[in-house]
Structure 1
Amino acid sequence: MPYHADHAIFELPAQLKDKTMHVFTLGDEGPSEFSVVMSHADAQGDDSLVNFANRLVGELGKALPGFRLMSTLELSLDNTPAIELDYRWRSEGIMMHQRQVMAMIPGAESGAVQALLIAATCRSAFTDAWNDAFDEMLDSVRLRHNNASGAGAALKAAAPLASTVFALSERRRTLHAFADHDEACRKIDAREVEQDAWRFFDAAGTPLHPDFVVPNSGTLWRKAGSYVLERRPERAAPSLRTQLYQASMFVAGSPLVRLSSIAEVQAMLAQSASC
């Protein structure tokens, strides 16, 4: 496939895997007080941004001595949903600090998805100056798939707004947006749905109700069944617009979803209600 590097474009043999990593440091020798590394990783199956972040936290906890996650933050990277992990660990008697931002972007192959990772590291706690430097860098990021004339339009056109399905978890304070019913039912665990851990809504914010076509089974080890979503006008239920305050994090469950924040969902629902 054609490969774009900083100084050249070339044909990459199909047998080779892209392990590109960009490293930015303050000097040429020795450990740097502040550094930034940009890399990417392949997603697994139907990985969502939250699933990828949770798996990364687990891997970091196993690999880094004294690992401690300080905070998790939802943000936007060039209008693309992203998550920032703020954590620290001990290395050779020094407490290292890292802010790692990740976003799901289209992969090299058609339909593939990968995670873009941008990590800033300090050999001590972040100063205001280094925090500001990294924040300014993140604000300046422009993702190729958002700004290429054809790619961004193709992604947006692939998911009509009317097919969007929202899933709200009050316990996790998270709002997921999926491209359609099938994706929502595939990615939200049927066992949690049976426990009323999720509420579903269509693109207009109207409640959707799960109907199990294959029940969950088992006692000690529950095996997930399957369900579909349907409207039930006879069952009074609050709309998404009145329940949106319960969400503090937005997750696009698919790269085809055109929304990138809770604020955008709120504006969309407000516009729909005024029509």
Structure 2
Amino acid sequence: MPYHSNHATFELPAQLKDKTMHMFTLSDDGPSEFSVVMSHADAQGDDSLVNFSDRLVTELGKSLPDFRLMSKAERTVDDTPAIELAYRWRSAGYLMHQRQVITMLPRTEAGDVHAMLIAATCLNPFTDEWDAAFDGILDSVKLRHKGAPASSAPASTGPALASTVFALSERRRTLHAFANQEEACRKTDAREVEHDAWAFFDAAGTPLHASFIVPNTGTLWRKAGSYVLEKRPERGAPNLRARLYQASMFVAGSPAVRLSSIAEVQAMLDQPVEG
């Protein structure tokens, strides 16, 4: 999946789990009088905001010494329902105090559910200064998914889409979309292609088949060769529309691909292709 960090964008392999955490403190060493952590956590498939927060309180009570929930209240983050917990616990001789705000994120293409957590921690009870600082952060939060275009919008057509090549990994349940055949062949491992780990399709969903021009070599350490993609109507393989159910995650292989979800791929396949 395409991944965005503060200073770079890169492709994250589907099997890696995102455990990103942003931490902000007042000092480099030792306990900070005030700190803020932003993170996300896996939720259960049918979790509501209330269920998730209740389970979190139970888990905190089991894991934190001398845990005490001070308050629990409904609020919003960027006009999105949220719950704020205020509690304290004992750690290394300090009585720590924390305000934690929880909001649920939209379900991913793979069907996963996550909660976003924003927590402020103080070594002593919150002062007016630190309450105001945390409230200012919360009031300024803008959730990225709210500014994203709706994934259900019909896909636009044009020259870039007419040359699109799709690569489907049934084992990974992932559908990649590349700008053209050259990019698809360059970015999809020839050693996996040789073992039929990938199925390729053109912009209309017609199957494409790999023809090796440089074979994979070696036995213990295999060196990747190179291949091109071609249509072979006589093979009678199912088209992408018939196999789309095998994908649960979508990955755009380059900025030239004007698609962002499996739903948009389905919409594209239902439209005539230009070019």
TM-score category (smaller protein):
0.5 to 0.7
SS at match of 1:133: helix
Distance verdict in 2 for CA 1:32–1:60, change over 3 Å? same
Which residue of structure 1 lines up, in the alignment, with residue 17 of structure 2? 17
Instruction: Give 1:28 deviation, angstroms.
Output: 1.2
SS at match of 1:74: strand
Matching of residues 1-275 of structure 1 within 5 Å: 1-150=1-150
Which residue of structure 1 lines up, in the alignment, with residue 238 of structure 2? none
Instruction: Give 1:151 deviation, angstroms.
Output: 5.2
Counterpart Cα distance in 1 of 2:139 and 2:44: 28
Counterpart Cα distance in 1 of 2:132 and 2:88: 19
1:220-251 Cα shifts (integer Å, max 9, x gaps): xxxxxxxxxxxxxxxxxxxxxxxxxxxxxxxx
Counterpart Cα distance in 1 of 2:45 and 2:128: 39
Distance verdict in 2 for CA 1:102–1:134, change over 3 Å? same
Counterpart Cα distance in 1 of 2:44 and 2:83: 17
Counterpart Cα distance in 1 of 2:153 and 2:89: 41
CA RMSD of superposed structures (Å): 1.7
1:77-130 Cα shifts (integer Å, max 9, x gaps): 001100000000011221100000000012443443210000000001000000
* Contact 1:146/1:152, CA 8 A, preserved across alignment: no
Counterpart Cα distance in 2 of 1:21 and 1:77: 18
SS at match of 1:124: coil
Instruction: Give 1:31 deviation, angstroms.
Output: 0.9
Letter in 2 for 1:134: F
* Contact 2:45/2:112, CA 8 A, preserved across alignment: no
Distance verdict in 2 for CA 1:122–1:152, change over 3 Å? farther
SS at match of 1:119: strand
Letter in 1 for 2:77: L
Instruction: Give 1:45 deviation, angstroms.
Output: 2.0
Q: What TM-score do you get using the length of structure 2 for normalisation? A: 0.54
Counterpart Cα distance in 2 of 1:46 and 1:84: 21
Q: Percent of aligned positions with the same letter in both sequences?
A: 70
Counterpart Cα distance in 2 of 1:109 and 1:117: 21
Counterpart Cα distance in 2 of 1:68 and 1:151: 42
Distance verdict in 2 for CA 1:29–1:107, change over 3 Å? farther
SS at match of 2:105: strand
Counterpart Cα distance in 2 of 1:2 and 1:84: 31
Counterpart Cα distance in 2 of 1:94 and 1:21: 23
1:126-149 Cα shifts (integer Å, max 9, x gaps): 000000000000000000111223
Counterpart Cα distance in 2 of 1:13 and 1:134: 34
Which residue of structure 1 lines up, in the alignment, with residue 270 of structure 2? none
Letter in 1 for 2:105: I
Larger Rg: 2
Distance verdict in 2 for CA 1:105–1:151, change over 3 Å? farther
Distance verdict in 2 for CA 1:25–1:152, change over 3 Å? farther
* Contact 2:36/2:121, CA 8 A, preserved across alignment: yes
SS at match of 2:52: helix
Distance verdict in 2 for CA 1:73–1:23, change over 3 Å? same
